[in-house]
Amino acid sequence: MVHEHAPRAAARSRRHPGIAYDDVPAHLERVEPGDPEYARVRSTYLRGGSPGLVLRPGTPAEVADALAFARAQPVKLGIRSGGHGISGRSTNHGGVVLDVSRLNTIEVLDKATRRVRLGPGARWSDVAAALAPYGWALTSGDYGGVGVGGLATAGGIGWLVREHGLTIDHLRAVELVLADGSLVRADDTENAELFWGVRGAGANFGVVTSFEFEVDEVGDVGFAQLILDASDPAALMREWGAAVEAAPRDLTSSLILGRPQPGQPAIAQVMAVVDADDPETVLARLRPLAAVAPLFDHQIQILPYAALMAVPPGPHHGQGEPVSRSALADHLTPELAEAAARLVASGETHFFHIRAAGGAVADVPADATAYAGRSANFSLVAFGSSRAGLHPLWDAMRPHFSGLYLNFETDTREERLHDAFPEPTLTRLRALKRRYDPGNVFRDNFPITP
Ligand SMILES: Cc1cc2nc3c(=O)[nH]c(=O)nc-3n(C[C@H](O)[C@H](O)[C@H](O)COP(=O)(O)OP(=O)(O)OC[C@H]3O[C@@H](n4cnc5c(N)ncnc54)[C@H](O)[C@@H]3O)c2cc1C
């Protein structure tokens, strides 16, 4: 970390052209190539990076100062909270990263209404741990290392999604620094259209500096890991999908298939959370899932939601660029299951993950937020190693899809915007972009052209 303007000559020699280092406001915490801290902040969880400058504001006013500086630089700009972006490029090469990870407070605002305020830099593991003593939880994702900022501006498909909906469905207000540096609040009455857009396309309109949520009462939950025979993967996906859709909303599940290994039995990993702490209910919910294919192994625990989300903190050392494709689907139809089985058999994906996404998500009208894929019961993502290998196979599956949750997608082609934001959502978002970010300052994550 360098607070003053006198970096050593060696560090200075690693500076990137195009960035006016001497103009960085002196009060801002900054890390640049050559600083000892640089190795800890250059990359994100899945992406290798070599930014020219990482600014780490500690207050909303400092976010505005950092943004004013960054806007004036003719280089890329990435906004970073928890550094787990997939679609969001929160690191870059030679550009500026505005890292709000220091804005990581978790406060209870009102016990009676279960209103909490979260900083964008808090991790979902920390949020779960902080809410646990109150007997509360906020549905987020399935991995506690993910940050609040990137997830809560896009959707949030987590372990309690079928029962409690998306994370954004619990959002009651945000504060954000807009492209012009102003700090505004947005909720259902104040800047209501902006609040609509932040819930699904938030990365386009500003840097969110705090989120106010209404959280739920959640006690211990059942958590199961089942290893199932995947020798007929299409049948497995179909049956699992039907079992998930038929289950009460207190069950949420996901299914993972990997690249077939020669000489090894084909297996799938099914994970499930049941929001209940009595073993009978947990087992009753799990039985239909365990019956979709021969069961090779299983593990079932009843544990606090916070224990499920706990992950050790640490710096990120991602390398290269992740390659993933993603989609939402209303149902795992026989045609979709066959196509997905062919994709898995091709070896072009080493990690194919289907998450349940339905239930309470569909209780919210499609035009209530910028997340439009309310009819989808499933969110699919395939990670691969080559764009050339994955794209054609995934593109061919498009007729079976009903939309896109952008947070798992790395394809930057324009069609993806239409998948994620079908009309009239996209037109409404373009109007918001013209109003709040006509210069496209916020462009590191599915930028909506004004
Ligand atoms: C291992 C793993 C598991 C995941 N599991 C789930 C899951 O179960 N459910 C789910 O819904 N998603 C999941 N995701 C996807 C996750 O929601 C996104 O990757 C999300 O963007 C990560 O947020 P972050 O703050 O950690 O990321 P960052 O890399 O810090 O940010 C990603 C992008 O979000 C935007 N952004 C970040 N902070 C702000 C801010 N303060 N204001 C405005 N925009 C901002 C920027 O465009 C940025 O590029 C997972 C990702 C990973 C890597």
- Per-residue pLDDT of the chain (450 residues), as tens digits, is 544 445 567 778 899 989 999 999 999 999 999 999 999 999 999 999 999 999 999 999 999 999 999 999 999 999 999 999 999 999 999 999 999 999 999 999 999 999 999 999 999 999 999 999 999 999 999 999 999 999 999 999 999 999 999 999 999 999 999 999 999 999 999 999 999 999 999 999 999 999 999 999 999 999 999 999 999 999 999 999 999 999 999 999 999 999 878 888 999 999 999 999 999 999 999 999 999 999 999 999 999 999 999 998 888 999 999 999 999 999 999 999 999 999 999 999 999 999 999 999 999 999 999 999 999 999 999 999 999 999 999 999 999 999 999 999 999 999 999 999 999 999 999 999 999 999 999 999 999 988
> How is 91-103 classified by DSSP, letter by letter?
--BSSEEEE-TT-
Select from 43, 89, 151, 183 the residue to mutate for testing ligand 1; criterion: most ligand atoms less than 8 Å from CB.
151
d(CA 215, CA 376): 23
Q: Name the CATH topology of 106-217+432-436.
A: 3.30.465
Residue 334's contacts (CB-CB under 8 Å, 6 or more residues apart) are: 234, 238
pLDDT of residue 2: 46
d(CA 224, CA 390): 30
Q: How far is the CA of 86 from the centre of ligand 1 (A)?
A: 7
- Whether ligand 1 lies within 6 angstroms of the CB of 152 is answered as no
345: exposed, middle or buried (Cβ count in 10 Å: 0-12, 13-18, 19+)? middle
d(CA 371, CA 411): 18
Q: Do 274 and 222 meet the contact criterion of CB atoms below 8 Å apart?
A: yes
Which CATH code fits 16-99?
A: 3.30.43.10
Residue type, 37: E
Where exactly does CATH 3.30.43.10 map onto the chain? Answer: 16-99
| Residue 114 half-sphere exposure toward CB, CA atoms < 13 A | 16
Closest CA to ligand 1's atom 37: 150
d(CA 99, CA 83): 9
Strands 378-384 and 216-217: unpaired
pLDDT of residue 4: 46
Q: How far is the CA of 149 from the centre of ligand 1 (A)?
A: 7
Per DSSP, which regions of 64-155 are E strands? 77-80, 96-99, 106-110, 115-118, 136-137
pLDDT of residue 8: 61
Strands 216-217 and 136-137: antiparallel
User: Torsion-angle region of residue 200: left (phi > 0), alpha (psi -120 to 50) or beta?
Assistant: left
Number of residues assigned to the chain: 450
- Whether ligand 1 lies within 6 angstroms of the CB of 167 is answered as no
